[in-house]
Amino acid sequence: MSFFKKLKESIAAKTEAVTSVFKEGLQKTRTALVEKVEELILRRKKIDEDFYEELEEILIGADVGVTTVMKLIEELRAEVKKRKIEDAAELQPILSEKLVELLNGSENPGLNMAESGMTVILFVGVNGVGKTTTIGKLAHRFKSEGKKVMLAAGDTFRAGAIEQLEVWGQRVGVDVIKQQAGSDPAAVMYDAVHAAKQRGVDVLLCDTAGRLQNKSNLMEELNKIFRVIQREVPTAPHEVLLVLDATTGQNALSQARLFGEKSGVTGLVLTKLDGTAKGGIVIAIRNELNLPVKFVGLGEKMGDLQEFDSEQFVHALFAGLILKEEQQEAEAEAN
């Protein structure tokens, strides 16, 4: 059975609605990565140094990451030598399989939820990455599952951050715990945890300040927030989600490295994946960092924040090739 057929069968149980969201959301990356590789294979035909150089450029252009690309090219060279491949067309399924291997390096872990009582999720990340929007969309997701949700406005420094979270609270229909702008974020978290306990909240989503990741005082504030939360809920926070803007490509990878080292990040959320041709950053992050991608933003609508699923991701990326293979099979059967 071919690689693409296996892939299609493995996600047959998944809903078509989710598959279509991934397909639409990854259109720009598909054009930048898969279609360019197809064009290269058709044009060059022969595998030589020029072929490898162009392939490197395409992969780096889609922000698959230099380290990951070098590893990938090295593995392709070894496969070409081992299988004595000369025709570039024979390399396409091998490249596809290698990309899948990189994405499937770890399982798709869902969110870590409290076994009993309240789940506390902390959100970190620099300003402008879509952190507040992600919190709002996740609040909507939890509420639609029948959970009682509360938001904590811990980003007390950025102008308008508290008001922005309040707008999301009203839109979703959940309470927001806040103080005045410039207040101590840890004090906001203390109030929020107490209020959440009193009101029987299932999930508390906490926004935090998002100034530049290399400011040591920001990390000190995060540590203080951790201590305050853990005094009240010893097992919390159950997740520390770093929100990254996929459109920034390698800069997102740098942020993930710095935050991951210093702030106890347990998972990543990649926003605006639908607005970039640099979706290869998902492959770079999965391969170069020991951090799982938990959610991806694939559009503006409430339901467009999707749990990351490597099979859905790859299926959406190679949708055109899967369709082409099915057409070829149908034609072969007809003849």
pLDDT digits (tens, 9 = 90+) for 292-310: 889 999 888 888 898 888 7
Looking at the structure, do residues 43 and 176 belong to the same domain, yes or no?
no
Looking at the structure, do residues 183 and 305 belong to the same domain, yes or no?
yes
Q: Per the domain annotation, does 3 fall within a domain?
A: no
Which H or E element spans position 206? strand 203-208
Tell me the residue range of the domain where 53 lies: 13-107+315-334
Q: Per the domain annotation, does 59 fall within a domain?
A: yes
Q: Per the domain annotation, does 112 fall within a domain?
A: no
Binding site listing for GTP: 125-132, 207-211, 271-274
Ramachandran class of 90: left when φ > 0, alpha when ψ lies in -120 to 50, beta otherwise: alpha
Identify the CA nearest to 64 among candidates 24, 19, 34, 23: 34
Per the structure block, which two tokens stand in for 167? 């707008």
Q: Per the domain annotation, does 64 fall within a domain?
A: yes
Question: 49-61 and 34-44 are packed helices; what angle lies between their axes, rounded to 10 degrees?
Answer: 170
Q: Per the domain annotation, does 6 fall within a domain?
A: no
Looking at the structure, do residues 212 and 64 belong to the same domain, yes or no?
no
Q: Are 285 and 291 in contact (CB under 8 A)?
A: yes
Exposure pattern of 7-23 as b/e (b: 16+ CB <10 Å)?
Answer: bbeebeeeeeebbebbb
Looking at the structure, do residues 266 and 183 belong to the same domain, yes or no?
yes
Looking at the structure, do residues 193 and 295 belong to the same domain, yes or no?
yes
Query: What pLDDT score does 106 carry?
Result: 52
| CATH code, 295 | 3.40.50.300
- 100/49 Cα distance (integer angstroms): 24
Task: Record the pTM.
Answer: 0.85
Q: Per the domain annotation, does 67 fall within a domain?
A: yes
CA 128 to chain centre: 16
Looking at the structure, do residues 63 and 172 belong to the same domain, yes or no?
no
Looking at the structure, do residues 168 and 221 belong to the same domain, yes or no?
yes
Query: What pLDDT score does 139 carry?
Result: 97
Task: Compute the chain's Rg from CA coordinates.
Answer: 22
Q: Which residues of the chain have pLDDT under 70?
A: 1-18, 104-109, 211-216, 261-262, 319-335
Identify the CA nearest to 271 among candidates 248, 237, 289, 239: 248
CB atoms within 10 A of CB 331: 9
Looking at the structure, do residues 175 and 188 belong to the same domain, yes or no?
yes
Q: Per the domain annotation, does 1 fall within a domain?
A: no
Looking at the structure, do residues 125 and 223 belong to the same domain, yes or no?
yes
Q: Are 296 and 269 in contact (CB under 8 A)?
A: yes
Q: Classify strands 239-245 and 119-124 as parallel, antiparallel or unpaired.
A: parallel
Looking at the structure, do residues 324 and 291 belong to the same domain, yes or no?
no
- 123/116 Cα distance (integer angstroms): 21
Interacting residues of 165 by C-beta distance below 8 A, sequence separation 6+: 132, 135, 136, 151, 153, 155, 176, 178, 207
Q: Per the domain annotation, does 233 fall within a domain?
A: yes
Query: What pLDDT score does 213 carry?
Result: 46
Looking at the structure, do residues 241 and 102 belong to the same domain, yes or no?
no
Query: What pLDDT score does 322 carry?
Result: 61
Q: What domain count does the chain have?
A: 2
Binding site listing: 125-132, 207-211, 271-274
| CATH code, 27 | 1.20.120.140
Looking at the structure, do residues 101 and 199 belong to the same domain, yes or no?
no
